[in-house]
Amino acid sequence: MHTKLHNRLSRFYFIYYFFVGAFVPYWGLYLQSEKFSAADIGILMSLFQISRIFAPNFWGWLADHTGKRAQWIRLTAFLGLCGFVAVFWAHGFFWMFFVMAALSLFTSSTLPLAESLTLAHLATTNGHYSRIRMWGSLGFIVAAVILGFMIDSAGIASLLWFLLIVQVSLFILSFTLPEPIVAPHEHDHFSIWQVIKQPNVIALLVGCSLMVTAHGVLYNFYSIYLSEHGYSKGAIGLLWSVGVICEIGIFMLMPKIMARFSLKAILLTSLVLAVIRFTLIGVSVDNLWMIILAQTLHAATFGSFHAASVEVVTQFFKGRHQAKGQAIYNSVAYGVGGAIGGIAGGYALQYLGGQQTFVLAAAFPLLGLAVIGFGLKLSQDQQKSGGMFR
C-alpha cells in the first residue's frame, strides 16, 4: 500500500513540475513574442506570485476545515485547466492580464494543497518526502529540455499546445490521490494567529521571502536574459536542467545532510550560496562555464533551502493547521517574495539592464542571511529533521 501511495504521489509531482518546467523557462519568451515589454512581462508573470498571497490560504483553510485535501486539488486542477484554455484567445495586455489572473488563482493553489496532502500521508506511513519531491524535479528537467528543442524547431506557439496537454494530464491524475488521515495534535486548540505571530515564524517567513525575491527575478527573466546574450532555446533549456539535476542530487542527499547539520545551518549556507549565484549570473553571463557553475548552485538556493524550510514549517504548523501552514509559507515566501522580485525585476531589466538586475538580486538573500541568522532561534528538537526527509 505504501509503495502504491508513493508511486501515485510521485507521479502527480512529476506532472505538476512538468508543467512548471515548461511554463517557467519559456512563458516569458512567449510573452516577449507577443510584443510585451519587460515591465509588462514582469507584471503578468508576477500575477502567479500575487495569487499565491491570497488563493492558497483560502484553499488551505477549506482543506483544514473540511478535512479534505484531494477533492480540492481536483477542483483547482480543473479550474486551472479551464483558465489555461482561455489563453489561446488572449491577445493584448488587458486580456492577457485578465486570463493569467484567473489562471493563477487556481494553479497557485494546487501545489500547497498537494504538499499538505503528501506530508499528512507521510506522517502516518513513515515515508520519504525527498524521494517523492525528486520526481517533481525530474519532471521539470524533462519538460525544460524537450521544450527548448521543440521551440527551436516548431516555434514558440507550440508551447501553448504542449502546456494544454500537460494541464489535462494533471487534472486526470488528481483523481488518483487518496485522502490522508490527519492525526490530531496537542496544539490544535491554538488559533492560527497564535502560531504566525511567534518571532521565529515571522523570521522564517521574512527570510524565505527575501530568498524567493531573488528567484522571482530568475524565474521571470533568466530565459529572456540568456536569449538576449545569444543563447539558443535548446541551450537555455539545458541550462535550466543543470540546475534541476543538481536539485535532484541534493534532495537525494538531504536525509544525510539533515542528520549531520542543523536546519538553521542548512538555511544559512543556502543563503550564502545564493548571494554567490546571483552575482555570478550578473557578472559572467557571457562565460558559459561560470553560468553552468551558477546553475549548479540551484541545489542550495532552491533544493536544500526549500527542504529545510518545509521541515521547519511542519514543526510550527501541525495537526489541524497543517494545510494552512503550507499555504501561509507559499503565500508569504513565494507570493510576496516572488511578486516583488518579478515586478521590480521587470522594471530593473528594462531600465538598468540584465547584468545590473541580477547583481542587485543578490542583495536579497544577503538580507535574508541576516534575518535568519539573528531572528530564527530553534530549540534543540527543532534543529533536527522531524523525519519527513529521511
Are the C-beta atoms of 294 and 358 separated by less than 8 Å? no
| DSSP category for residue 304 | I
Could you give the CA distance from residue 121 to residue 281 in angstroms, rounded to a whole number? 39
- Which range scores top for mean pLDDT: 19-23, 326-330, 360-364? 360-364
383 within domain boundaries: no
Could you give the CA distance from residue 69 to residue 112 in angstroms, rounded to a whole number? 10
37 within domain boundaries: yes
Note the pLDDT tens digit of each residue in 354-366.
999 999 999 999 9
Note the pLDDT tens digit of each residue in 72-130.
888 888 988 888 888 888 888 989 998 888 888 887 778 778 877 777 777 665 566 77
The pLDDT, as a whole number, for residue 183 is: 55
Note the pLDDT tens digit of each residue in 58-80.
776 777 677 777 888 888 889 88
> Where is average pLDDT lowest: 67-71, 135-139, 192-196, 374-378?
192-196
- pLDDT bin (cut points 50, 70, 90) of residue 380 is low
- pLDDT bin (cut points 50, 70, 90) of residue 328 is confident
Instruction: Copy the grid coordinates of residue 356.
Output: 545590473
381 within domain boundaries: no
Give the domain CATH number at 135: 1.20.1250.20
Could you give the CA distance from residue 146 to residue 148 in angstroms, rounded to a whole number? 6
Note the pLDDT tens digit of each residue in 157-167.
899 999 999 99
Q: What percent of the chain has pLDDT over 70?
A: 88
Name the residue type at position 382. Answer: Q
The set of residues, in sequence order, having a beta carbon less than 8 Å from that of 39 and lying 6+ positions away, is 346, 347, 350
- How large is the average pLDDT for residues 135-160? 89
Residue 367's alpha-carbon distances to 55, 148, 203, 323, in angstroms, are 27, 34, 12, 28
Could you give the CA distance from residue 312 to residue 264 in angstroms, rounded to a whole number? 9
Cβ-based burial of 374 (10 A; exposed 0-12, middle 13-18, buried ≥19): exposed
388 within domain boundaries: no
Could you give the CA distance from residue 103 to residue 51 in angstroms, rounded to a whole number? 9
- pLDDT mean across residues, the chain: 85
- pLDDT bin (cut points 50, 70, 90) of residue 389 is very low
- How large is the average pLDDT for residues 235-257? 90
Helix (H) or strand (E) holding 352: helix 338-352
With cell 535548446, the residue in question is 234
- Which range scores top for mean pLDDT: 2-6, 114-118, 252-256? 252-256
Check pLDDT > 90 for residue 57. Answer: no
Could you give the CA distance from residue 138 to residue 18 in angstroms, rounded to a whole number? 8
Instruction: Copy the grid coordinates of residue 222.
Output: 533568466
pTM of the model: 0.78
Check pLDDT > 80 for residue 277. Answer: yes
> Where is average pLDDT lowest: 18-27, 35-44, 47-56, 164-173?
47-56
The pLDDT, as a whole number, for residue 241 is: 92
236 within domain boundaries: yes
Q: What percent of the chain has pLDDT over 90?
A: 39
The pLDDT, as a whole number, for residue 347 is: 93
Check pLDDT > 90 for residue 7. Answer: no
Are the C-beta atoms of 104 and 50 separated by less than 8 Å? yes
7 within domain boundaries: yes
Q: Where are the alpha helices (DSSP H) in 198-262?
A: 199-228, 233-260
109 within domain boundaries: yes
The DSSP result for 4-34, as a single string, is HHHHHHHHHHHHHHHHHHHHHHHHHHHHHHT
382 within domain boundaries: no
- Which range scores top for mean pLDDT: 27-31, 102-106, 123-127, 270-274? 270-274
Could you give the CA distance from residue 301 to residue 290 in angstroms, rounded to a whole number? 16
Count of domains for the chain: 1
- To the nearest 10°, report the CA torsion of 87, 88, 90, 92: 120
Note down the domain range covering 45.
2-181+190-375
Are the C-beta atoms of 319 and 195 separated by less than 8 Å? no
- pLDDT bin (cut points 50, 70, 90) of residue 139 is very high
The DSSP result for 63-109, as a single string, is HHHHT-SHHHHHHHHHHHHHHHHGGGG--SHHHHHHHHHHHHHHHHH
Check pLDDT > 90 for residue 297. Answer: yes
